[in-house]
Structure 1
Amino acid sequence: MPFRRSRLPAALGLVLCLLTACTPNQVLPRPGPSPVSDAHALDRFYDQKLAWGSCAPYATEEQSQEAFRTPGVECARLMVPLDYAQPQGPTITVGVLRHKASDPADRIGSLVMNPGGPGGSGMEAAARLVPTVANQAIGLRFDLVGFDPRGVGASEPRVRCLSDAERDAERASHLGDGTTPGSDAAWRAEGQDFAAKCVQRTQYGARMLANVGTRDVVKDLDILRATLGDKKLTYLGYSYGTQIGFQYAEAFPANVRALLLDGAIDPAEDEMRSLVAQGAGFASAFGLFAAACAKHTGCAVGGDPSHAVARFEELTRPLLTAPATAAGGRRLSYDDAMTGVVEAMYSQRSWPILNAALNLLATGDGSLLLQLADSYYERGPDGRYSSLQAAYYAVRCVDNPRQPPAAIAATYQQMLAAAPFLGGGRPDEGEPGICGSWPVPSTAQPHDPIRPGVPSPLVISTVDDPVTPYQDGVNLARQMHGGLLTYEGAQHTAFLHGDQCVDVNGLAYLVDGTLPPPGTRCPSR
């Protein structure tokens, strides 16, 4: 499962982002050069009118049902080509949610956002942000717009791979860490089975999977921009959403007004290096957790941070052979315990929950750690999962070049070395094997972004971000000649998470394009 996922404030609820609107007579920009031979082949998509209505029919599980009840939101379906090389062929739809600017007289335009993943629901994320931004410049002056990228959430068709029951069973198993005898082969076999089910269970099969990557998402985004009536795009991207942002800028540089990119991915870093770097980030975050925990009585990993990993392993290693009991007759597996820990590492605000979960585990009760793991995997109380996991692999496996078996085996060794306390139980452990077995070719390569004439973006990077390392944001700001805002915290992403310094600087950029002075840093509260 993914590490590339933003943690917007409301996502912790289970246990705890100057555009002038176009007038109807304005001619909106069309895309740049395209492999499509007919210059007008995409006109029917760019010229469509969105039919806005109730969001209730777009909900796919309990989480989205709750979010879509947010007052003032409305939803629509955007029609796009399944395959941009054949725009006269089958069409698919992208789900879109909007909350209109509450001060129409001073409205700037649309702010389109994506929360990350790949596979995160932009519709749900936007709905959950509405209460936060209602009385800020975003809610007053922008239509806040979230979209579910092709294959995700309310978009149709969704990428489908495993049933809910199969996912529960997968989480209960442990295939090893990829380095022990037989475990690498086990991961490859499971990856092949997973890929085959994705082809069988997703409408249009391999053809859909071949066209679900970021290359195609940014083309959908440009059609969305035009149908919203915006001459140029103002965009807020978290985590993987930053990749959508910089790839959009490459594909449609003349159509960009502003890009706020928070929790950046380094475009030049390949998949394998990113997985290893994330492991190191989570190991560092665990050390910070242990140091903070040790200052208080009742710390589950003890009062000496140097012994915290050993104490943690005493609590969790027995789960390899004897899963703990949990509420509702469920069991906590070793892998789910590690996933629960990873979930809590996304924000230092969750560290008290993690300590409580580990103390509960010491009594034999895995309920709270299992709740954390459920939150990570977006499993609702009814046992239904969102589309996050299937879409994550579908996008990652076409966005990154194939790796040979030897490179995959070496990556497993490096992942384990980078985060030994997770013992090979990290949520994305199977990604190299799954992508090595993926049935369609990749559509992208790591590279420095091309930015001819793109306005300077604002990149926000957090010093102790365990998911997208701080240096990734530094690199992206340099590569795109953008502004860099440093947040001195221990969490994944920072904008609209409650820090006044970050929010003031971000809002100034979105409203009038003002970048913070070079070297600006926002201290953690």
Structure 2
Amino acid sequence: MTNRTRLITAVAGAVVLTLGLSGCVSAFMPQEAPSTSTPTGESVDAALEPFYSQVLKWNDCGEGMQCTTATAPLDYGDPSAGDVNLALVRHPATGGERVGSLLVNPGGPGASGYDIVKTSLDFVTDDTLQASFDVVGFDPRGVGRSSSVACYEPADMDEYLYGLTTAARGTDAWIAELEASSAAFGAACAANTGALLEHVDTESAARDLDLLRAVLGDAKLNYLGYSYGTYLGATFAELFPDKVGRLALDGALDPSTTNYEVTELQAKGFENALRAYLTDCLAGTDCAFRGSVDDSMATVSALLASVDVSPLTNSDGRQLGSNALLTAIIYPLYQQAAWPLLTTMFQSVMKNDATDAFQLADSYNGRQADGTYLDNSSEAFSAINCVDYAYNDDPAAMRAQAAEIEAAAPIIGKYMSFGDIGCANWPYTFTGERDEIHAQGAAPILVVGTTNDPATPYAWAESLSKQLDSGTLVTFQGEGHTAYNKGSQCVNDAVNNYLVKGIVPDADPMC
């Protein structure tokens, strides 16, 4: 028996391991800020004017935060077709020299910018940015507190994410099972979400960014985007180059990559991160592995294969198959600080205990101890990716690509292939082109890349910084997904000087 394939075709998961990071709010109290916004009053198409001229009323929502809701067109091609709501939270600038608003997106797609700002402000921004900007978190269309994608009740979501197939991985029967599961999921999303499901694409979300910029009263957009949020920010810059203020894009996604290329490079990235973890683990005293790194990689491979054949049963009755175990392995690889969690998980799995593996997989998927889901991030992740990329579920093509992915990442690649199945029969299809983004005429844009980032490989940061006509690269030589505010003063200085003062590095500081 094999675990059903979970789509890992674009930047997977949130920017930050949320384990133990809730409640991180700055000790500084915000200065007095207007309770209503003052839109820029700029000239826009008549059909968009009611949206661009709306006045936001900010309400106190605790811990120095203020919240509000903006309205955007469901379809920018036909603004009269209906509205969507966009939830925002603001931490007003704490210093005396306010630069403006700084919109923050933590990635995903599907991660909540509202939640990350409200509960973990100090993790995504430091005191310097909080002093100079009104830090604004928002949930993009389709996500969280905004008009959102809805698909399954918790029990059905459990089956979709964790359920086991009966056929052997890669066989025609296995593919047919996954196609049926994915088709049912897509149909449920369409039935429960309605017209919004067609309009959760990144271009529409980027147009929302411009609308939010204007109603917040900023002539130019100041933006800090992590992971998938870099693609959202770059898309904004391509659509509105004259509205670019200061855009910092950390953990960059290459806009020109195909779904297959994303999967292949991520498989290699996570495999490299797993090797780095095992190197560190073997140098310690409580490692679950013995021998060389290659020996340990072989042990991981054997563990994945063993639960594919004989899943481990959890205390709640769920069975741990290979894909759930892969999720548990991948999640702590996002940040080096979480590697001890991976050690504990491997130790327990080797004793046929699935508890720690399910805790990690559940954290990744937003599943709570009572079986409910914290948010709709998994559903939004699929819905946004399915309309942002082109997919092909031809078995021959998928098998050829699977062989290439496994050759590139022999341990992890096998379990990250066949990803097209999840979206190939989605109710709405991708109609654009994945192409380079140049943002001709835009002000300087900062791109930050980490050399051993498993989720958004460093090559993507290099590529995006070169594509952008005004791109500047800042390299962090280290481990983990994203680099700003993660311990490198060099990176923090580069990003803060750029966002606060508009100072662009003369050359890559190679932090």
TM norm structure 1: 0.87
- Work out whether residues 117 and 136 of structure 2, in 8 Å CA contact, stay in contact via their aligned partners in 1: yes
1:95 maps to 2:102 = no
**Residues in 2 aligned to 1:465 and 1:235: alpha-carbon distance in whole angstroms:** 21
Q: Kindly provide the amino acid, as one letter, of the partner of residue 256 in structure 2.
A: A
Q: Where does 1:184-333 land on structure 2 (aligned, <5 Å)?
A: 184-202=175-193, 204=194, 207-326=195-314, 330-333=318-321
**Residues in 2 aligned to 1:416 and 1:370: alpha-carbon distance in whole angstroms:** 25
Q: Kindly provide the amino acid, as one letter, of the partner of residue 85 in structure 1.
A: G
- Work out whether residues 48 and 79 of structure 2, in 8 Å CA contact, stay in contact via their aligned partners in 1: yes
1:51 maps to 2:57 = yes
Structure 1 gaps, min length 5? 16-20, 32-38, 56-68
Aligned to 1:12, the other structure's residue is in SS state coil
- Work out whether residues 273 and 452 of structure 2, in 8 Å CA contact, stay in contact via their aligned partners in 1: yes
- Work out whether residues 268 and 413 of structure 2, in 8 Å CA contact, stay in contact via their aligned partners in 1: no
Q: Give per-residue Cα distances to partners, 1:1-31, cap 9 Å, x unaligned.
A: 445146545623289xxxxx99988844456
**Residues in 2 aligned to 1:122 and 1:510: alpha-carbon distance in whole angstroms:** 18
Q: Kindly provide the amino acid, as one letter, of the partner of residue 13 in structure 1.
A: G
- Work out whether residues 340 and 373 of structure 1, in 8 Å CA contact, stay in contact via their aligned partners in 2: yes
Structure 2 gaps, min length 5? 1-6, 23-32
Counterpart position of 2:382 = 393
Provide the aligned length of Structure 1 versus Structure 2.
489
Displacement after TM superposition at 1:251 (Å):
0.9
Q: Kindly provide the amino acid, as one letter, of the partner of residue 190 in structure 1.
A: S
Counterpart position of 1:13 = 20
**Residues in 1 aligned to 2:274 and 2:116: alpha-carbon distance in whole angstroms:** 27
Q: Where does 1:98-247 land on structure 2 (aligned, <5 Å)?
A: 98-103=90-95, 105-132=96-123, 136-156=127-147, 158-175=148-165, 179-202=170-193, 204=194, 207-247=195-235
1:374 maps to 2:362 = yes
Give me the CA root mean square deviation.
Answer: 2.5
**Residues in 1 aligned to 2:43 and 2:336: alpha-carbon distance in whole angstroms:** 44
Q: Give per-residue Cα distances to partners, 1:173-227, cap 9 Å, x unaligned.
A: 344786334222322222222211111111x2xx322211011001111111111
**Residues in 1 aligned to 2:475 and 2:315: alpha-carbon distance in whole angstroms:** 41
Counterpart position of 2:473 = 484
1:355 maps to 2:361 = no
Of 409-418 and 186-195, deviating more is: 409-418
Displacement after TM superposition at 1:306 (Å):
1.6
Displacement after TM superposition at 1:430 (Å):
6.0
Aligned to 1:353, the other structure's residue is in SS state helix
- Work out whether residues 39 and 55 of structure 2, in 8 Å CA contact, stay in contact via their aligned partners in 1: no
Displacement after TM superposition at 1:496 (Å):
1.5
Q: Give per-residue Cα distances to partners, 1:208-258, cap 9 Å, x unaligned.
A: 222110110011111111111111100111111001111101111111101
TM norm structure 2: 0.89
**Residues in 2 aligned to 1:299 and 1:305: alpha-carbon distance in whole angstroms:** 12
**Residues in 2 aligned to 1:25 and 1:73: alpha-carbon distance in whole angstroms:** 19
Displacement after TM superposition at 1:409 (Å):
3.7
Which residue of 384, 400, 409 maps to 1:419?
A: 409
**Residues in 1 aligned to 2:164 and 2:412: alpha-carbon distance in whole angstroms:** 13
Q: Where does 1:16-95 land on structure 2 (aligned, <5 Å)?
A: 27-30=40-43, 39-55=45-61, 71-95=63-87
Q: Evaluate the alpha carbon distance shift between residue 451 and residue 315 of structure 1 in structure 2; reply closer, same or farther with a 3 A threshold.
A: closer
Q: Kindly provide the amino acid, as one letter, of the partner of residue 485 in structure 1.
A: V
Displacement after TM superposition at 1:155 (Å):
0.6
Q: Evaluate the alpha carbon distance shift between residue 374 and residue 135 of structure 1 in structure 2; reply closer, same or farther with a 3 A threshold.
A: closer
Displacement after TM superposition at 1:487 (Å):
0.6
- Work out whether residues 113 and 236 of structure 1, in 8 Å CA contact, stay in contact via their aligned partners in 2: yes
Aligned to 1:130, the other structure's residue is in SS state helix
Equivalent pairs: percent with the same residue? 35
1:508 maps to 2:497 = yes
Counterpart position of 2:428 = 440
Q: Kindly provide the amino acid, as one letter, of the partner of residue 165 in structure 1.
A: A
Q: Evaluate the alpha carbon distance shift between residue 113 and residue 6 of structure 1 in structure 2; reply closer, same or farther with a 3 A threshold.
A: farther
Of 385-394 and 134-143, deviating more is: 134-143
**Residues in 2 aligned to 1:226 and 1:470: alpha-carbon distance in whole angstroms:** 33
Displacement after TM superposition at 1:407 (Å):
3.4
